[in-house]
Structure 1
Amino acid sequence: MTFHSISSQGENSSVIRSWCESNGYSYLGEKGGELQIAASQSTEARFTYIKEICSISDEIYELAIEGEPPHCEVKITYSGERGLRYALNAIGQLKKRGEWREGVKYDYPLFSIRGIIEGFYGQPWNQEQRLNMLRFIASNNMNTYIYGPKDDVYHRERWQELYDEESYSRLSEVFSEATALGLDFYYSIAPGLSMRYSSEEQFEALIRKVGQIYELGVKHFCLLLDDIPGELQHQEDIRIYRDLSEAHIQLVNRFYTEIMKWDAGIRLIVCPTQYCGIGNERYISKLGSSIHPSIDLFWTGRNICSQEITLSEASVFTQHTHRKPLYWDNYPVNDVEMTDEMHIGPYRLRDRHLYRFSRGIIANGMEYAESSKIAYATIASYLWNPEQYDPEVSWREALEEVVGRSDFEHMLQFADNVRYSCLYPTDSPMLAAELTRFNFAYFYGDRKQGIDELEQFVTKMSNSAAALLSNSMENRELQKELQRWVLKFSVGCALLQDCMDYIRSQDADDLLRVHSNYDLYRSDVTYVFADVLVSFLNKVLEQHFTIK
C-alpha cells in the first residue's frame, strides 16, 4: 500500500502543497496525483464547536476516504486551517501505519492548548533542533510552542537588554516557521531575579524589550516570575509593597494593560512565583483573584514535578484563582537534580477528564531535543484524546516514529530500562517480570529452564545494547544523545551475564568477578535499571542463588 503524489482541489491548496513538501510527497496541483484530495471549509456547528469543552474551535476535521492506494480520493471538510493540517496529518498516519480503509473519520482535540515549552536549565536547543522540533510537534497535532530557555541570557539574566541582531534574527526565523506550521508562538521573559518592581525605569525597559519582540509580529507572551526568592529583595520595594504578591499583582496588571494597547489579539500567560501546591495558598489565591481574568496562570500541579494531576486538584486551583489552570508539566525535563536520568517513558497519571477542568498542558522538555520527542509524541496523543489514550500503545508508536522501524526492537529493550521519572517511580518492568519468573523457577520449578530463559533474555538485551552502540542507527542524533545511558545499559547487561555465569557454575572466581564489576557499575551514577538490577545483584552477592 503506497502513494507518492497528491493532487488537490478546493481552498487552501497552499497548505496542502506545504504539507506535501514537508512530508515527502510530490504535489501535482489539481490533477495527476495518485491520491486526490478535495478540501472545503465548513461553518456548520459540528465543524466549529466542541461540545465536551463548550468551545468554538478551528481544529475539527472530517475525512471521507474512497478507494485504495495508490489510486484513491479523500474529501476533507474542516473548520479552519488547523483542522485542515490535522486532516493531512491523519492521512499520513493512516498510510504510515497501514490502516488505510474506506470510510469516514470525524475527529477533533479535547484539550484547547497543547504544546511544549523550551524552558529548561542547561544548553538551549540550537536553531536546527528548534526548527526541527516545531515541525515535529506540528506533525503530532500540537498547537503551541513557548520560547523560554533559562540559559538564554536575554531571556532571564539580561532581560532588560534588547536582542542583538544575530539573536533577533534567529527568533524571527523561529516565529516565522511556527506561524507557517499553524503554531501559536509565545515569547517569554523572566525579569524576576533582579527587577525592582517600584522602578519606572525598569518597567519601561521591560515594555521596550517585549516591544522589540512584538515588532516581529508576535502577539503571545509569557511573563515568568518563577524560581526567584519568595520575598521582596530590594529596599525600595519593601517600603512600597506589603509583600511579593502585591508587587506582582501591580506588575502583571500594568504590564497587561500596556501590551494590550498594541493589539487586542494579544494573549498573556503568567508563571507565578508559587507555581505548585494545593492551589489555595495565600500567594496564588491573592494573585489569581486580583489580575485580569483573561490572563492565564501556569501551574505544575501538587509538586514541581508532579507524579499525578487530578480533577480535584484542578478544581481547588480554579476555585481560588478564578480561572482554570494552564499546566506547565515538568515532564520530560531532566535538569537540575535529574541530570543523571533520561526521561523517555510514556506520559502517565494525568486524569482522562482533565481537559474539562484546565486550559491545557504545556510540557517542558530536556536539552536533549531528539530524546524529548519520544515523550512529546505520547503527550500529544494524550492531549488529542485523553479518554482513549493508552500509554503503552502510544509509547511504542512514539518509539517507532522517533527511532525508526529498523531500530525499534533494540530501542524498546533499552528504553524499558530507563522509564524512571516522576511519572514512573519504578523501572525495568520487562526485566523485573523475568527476574520474578526466574526466582520462582529456581526455587520451586525447573531450575535449569529458569536459568536458560533468563540468560536468553539477558542475551537479547546485550544484543540490543551492542546494536544501539554501533554506527548503524537510523537516528544518529538520538544515538549521540543517549550514548551515556546506553553505555550504562550495556555494562548492566554484561553484569547480568556475569551473574548467570556464577549461578550456573557456583564458582568462587565467577562470584569474585561479579563483585568487581558490580563496584564498577555502581561508580557510574547514570540512572538505568533503577533498583531492579541492584536488588537482583545484591541477592547474587549474598549467595541467595546457591545450590543446596
Structure 2
Amino acid sequence: MTTREALPSISSLGMDSPIVQSWCERNGYSYLSGERGDIRISAVKSMDARFAYIDETSTVSDEIYELSIQGEPPLCEVRITFAGERGLRYALNAIGRMIKRGMWQDGTHYDYPRFPVRGIIEGFYGQPWSQEQRLKMLGFIARHNMNSYVYGPKDDIYHRERWQDLYDEEAYARLRNAFTETTALGLDFYYSIAPGLSMRYSSEADFAALIRKVEQIHKLGVTDFCLLLDDIPEELQHQEDKDAYSDLVEAHIRLVNRFYAEIMKWNDSIRLIVCPTQYWGKGDERYISQLGSRIHPSIDLFWTGRNICAPEITLSEAAVFTQSTHRKPLYWDNYPVNDVEMTDEMHIGPYRGRDRHLYRFSRGVIANGMEYAESSKIAYATIADYLWNPEKYDPEASWQGALEEIVGQANFADMLQFADNLRYSCLYLTDSPKLAAELTKFNFAYFYGDREQAIDHLEQFFEQMIEAGSRLSKGMENGDLHAELQRWLHKYAAGCALMQECVRYIRSQNPDELEQIRTKYELYRKDLTYVFADVLMSFMNKVLDQYFTNQ
C-alpha cells in the first residue's frame, strides 16, 4: 500500500474532472490526464433516489455518494456515483482518508451525512483569525465533510460595533476572498451582522442602514445571512421603541420578518438564520416560543441548549424546542470556544455529550471556535466525525485520529500524553484521566501494597510526562500549533516538575523539602493557566497535609 510520504497520482475519466483536479491540487496529489494515474477515477452522476434522498431524516440531499473500488494503487480503479457536487467531493475525501491512514478498502462503500447542516462559526470574542488562518480553516473543514462557514467575529468592528457602516475597501476585499474560497471548496458562506447593541427597532433610518450594509455583502454573491440578536439587553432601551412595541420580542418579530421579506426580494434562494436574544434554556420560554411561532417558517433559529456552554444536548430537549418554536433547532454549539471567562482554558478534547440521535430533531450544528485557529482544529475534527454519523461516533478514537492528523506522527505520542491533561471544558468537567488513575493506584499501593515499588512506579510515570512535555516544548511539526500552546506547555512542565518533587519528598520525608514544595506550589497557583484541573490540586493537598507518611 502507498505510504503517507509518497502519495499516489490520480487521474479522472469522464465528467467532473475539474473538481477532481482541483481536489488533487488542494490535497497534495499529482493529477494526470487520461489513464496514467495510480488511482483511476470515473465519476458517474445518478438521478436514482438513493443518491438524492436520506430516509432516516426524510430529507433531499446532494451529499450522498458511493465508492466502488477494485485493486490497490498503483493499479486501482475507483467508480464514484453521486447526484450532487458535494457527494463527489466527499467521495474524494473518503479516498484521501483511506490513503493517508493506510486503510485502503476494496469493495463498495455507500455513505451520507446524518445532519444536514455541519459547520463552524468564527463567532468568538477576541482577536479574529487572520486571513491566512481563515482560508486554511476553510480547507480543513471542507476535507472533513463540513458544509458551512459562518463569518461573525465579535471583534470585527463592522460586524457589531459599527454595524451601520459599510466595509472599507481592504476589509471588503478580505470578505470577497473568503467568500470566493468558501464557494470554491463547495461550502456555504454565511455572513453575520449583529445590530442589537445600538439599533432602534422603530427607526426607518436604522433599518435602511441594516439593509444597505447587508446588500453590500450580497453584491459579492453571498446569499446566506445571519441576523444576530445575542448578548444584548433583554429589555427595550430606546424610548421610541418602548412607545412602538410592547416588549423586546415584539420588536424582534417585526424586525426579523421585515428583514427577511426585504432580502428575499434580491434572490429567492436566500437563506436566513437568526440568533435570538434568549438563545439558551429549556426551549419553551415565552420569548423563544413567541418568536418561533411568529417569524417565517423558513428561517432557522440558533440555539445553544440548556446552557450557554452546554455539557450535554439531548433529543428530548431538541423535541421541546421544535414543538415550541415550530422548527428544529440549529445548534450554535459553544465548543471549543474559550473566550470571556474561559480564556485560561485550552479546549482540545473530543466532542461529547450530544445525543447520538440528535439529528432526528435538529437542523445541525455550527461550532464556535477559539481565537487559536490551529488548536480549534482538534475539536473540529471530532465534531465533524460526530455530525457525519453520530450513531457510530467514538469520541476517543476520533480524538486520537484528530491529534495524529493535526500534530503529526512524530509528535503524536507526546501530544497524547500532554493533551490528556487539557480535557477540562463544559463537556468534560474533570481532567487528566490517566494521571488521576495513576494517583489512585499509587494511593492504594502506598498504604496496602509495596510502598517502595509504588513510589518508583509513580516517579517513572512523572518522568515520562516531563520528557513528553520537554520534547513538545522544543518544537513540533506543526509550528502554528506549537506557538498557540506555549502557555499551556509551560504550565504543564511546571506542574509535572512539582509532582515529581512531591514523590521525592514522599520517599525522603525531609521536612525542608516539604517547605520548598509549599513555596513552589503557591507560585504555581498564581499562574491561572488551566492544566490538570483538580487532579493535581488534590494530590498536592495530600502531600502538603503530610498524608503520605512512613507511619
Task: Compare 345-354 and 510-519 and name the one that shifted more.
Answer: 510-519
| Cα RMSD, aligned residues only | 0.7
- Which residue of 1 is the match for residue 181 of structure 2? 177
- Structure 2 match to 1:320: 324
- Distance in 2 (CA, whole Å) between partners of 1:344 and 1:302 is 22
Residue 10 of structure 1 deviates from its aligned partner by 2.2
Range 526-535 or range 68-77, more displaced: 68-77
1:88-487 to 2 correspondences below 5 Å: 88-471=92-475, 473-487=476-490
Deviations 1:463-511 (A, max 9, x none): 111011103x100110110100110000000001101111111112221
Give the residue type in structure 2 aligned to 1:145: Y
Long gaps (5+) in structure 2 = none
Query: In 2, Cα distance between the equivalents of 1:170 and 1:416?
Result: 37
- Matched residue of 2:391: which SS? coil
Letter in 1 for 2:189: F
CA distance in 2 between counterparts of 1:445 and 1:91 reads 52
1:499 maps onto 2:502 in alignment = yes
Query: How far apart, in 1, do the equivalents of 2:191 and 2:199 lie?
Result: 19
TM-score by length of 2: 0.99
Is the 8 Å Cα contact of residues 498 and 513 (structure 1) preserved in structure 2?
no
Structure 2 counterpart of 1:511: 514
Identity %: 72
- The equivalent of 2:72 in structure 1 is 68
Deviation of 1:71 (Å): 2.1
Deviation string, structure 1 residues 427-455 (Cα, Å, up to 9, x no partner): 00000000001111101112122111111
Does residue 545 of structure 2 align to residue 542 of structure 1?
A: yes
**Residue aligned with 2:485, SS:** helix
**Letter of the structure 1 residue corresponding to residue 489 of structure 2:** V
1: CA distance between counterparts of 2:517 and 2:436? 19
Q: Structure 2: which amino acid aligns with 1:469? A: S
Whole-angstrom distance in 2 between the partners of 1:512 and 1:30: 75
Large movers: runs of 4+ above 4 Å: none
Amino acid at match of 1:250: R
- The answer on whether the counterparts of 2:37 and 2:74 sit within 8 Å (CA) in structure 1 is no
8 A contact 1:37–1:74 mirrored in 2: yes
Matched residues in 2 for 1:172 and 1:371: separation? 26
Specify the SS of the correspondent of 2:67.
strand
1:26-80 per-residue CA deviation (whole Å, 9 max, x = no partner) reads 1002221111111111111111110000011110011111112222111111121
8 Å CA contact 2:378, 2:403 repeated in 1? yes
Deviations 1:201-222 (A, max 9, x none): 1100100000000000000000
> How many angstroms apart in 2 are the aligned matches of 1:167 and 1:187?
13
Q: Is 1:17 matched up with 2:15?
A: no
CA-CA distance at 1:317 after TM superposition: 0.6
What corresponds to 1:58 in structure 2?
62
Shift of 1:323: 0.4
Partners of 1:497 and 1:268 lie apart in 2 by 55
Q: 1:347–1:375: 8 Å Cα contact kept in structure 2?
A: yes
Amino acid at match of 1:147: Y
Q: Matched residues in 1 for 2:246 and 2:34: separation?
A: 67
Distance 2:49 2:456 in 1: 62
**What is the rounded CA distance, in whole Å, between the counterparts of 1:399 and 1:54 in structure 2?**
34
* Preserved contact between residue 8 and residue 73 of structure 2 (Cα < 8 Å): no
SS of 1:40's partner is strand
Letter in 1 for 2:473: L
- Find the residue that maps to 1:324 and give its secondary structure: coil
SS of 1:142's equivalent in the other structure is: coil
Q: When the two structures are superposed, what TM-score results if normalisation uses the length of structure 1?
A: 0.99
Q: CA deviation at 1:122?
A: 0.2
User: Residues 66 and 110 of structure 2 are in contact (CA less than 8 Å); yes or no, is this contact kept in structure 1?
Assistant: yes
1:277-331 CA-to-partner distances (Å, cap 9, x unmatched) read 0111111011001000000000000010000000111111111100000000000
Displacement of 1:164 after TM fit?
0.4
Name the SS of the counterpart of 2:108 in structure 1.
Answer: strand
Compute the displacement of 1:373 (Å): 0.3
Code of the residue aligned with 1:191 in structure 2: it is P
Give the distance between the partners of 2:386 and 2:83, measured in 1 at CA.
22
SS of the aligned residue for 1:52 comes to coil
1:510 match: secondary structure: helix
Which region of structure 1 is more displaced relative to structure 2, 399-408 or 504-513? 504-513
In the alignment of these two chains, the number of paired residues is 547
SS in 2 for 1:275: coil
User: Do 2:289 and 2:324's aligned partners in 1 also have CA atoms closer than 8 Å?
Assistant: yes
Structure 2 distance, partners of 1:251, 1:414, is 49
For residues 393 and 267 of structure 1, the distance between their equivalents in structure 2, rounded to whole angstroms, comes to: 35
Q: Secondary structure at the match of 1:463?
A: helix
Q: Does 1:81 align with 2:55?
A: no
Q: Is 1:532 matched with 2:535?
A: yes
Aligned residues of 2:305 and 2:313 also touching (Cα < 8 A): yes
Q: Distance in 1 between matches of 2:328 and 2:205?
A: 34
Unaligned runs of 5+ in 1: none
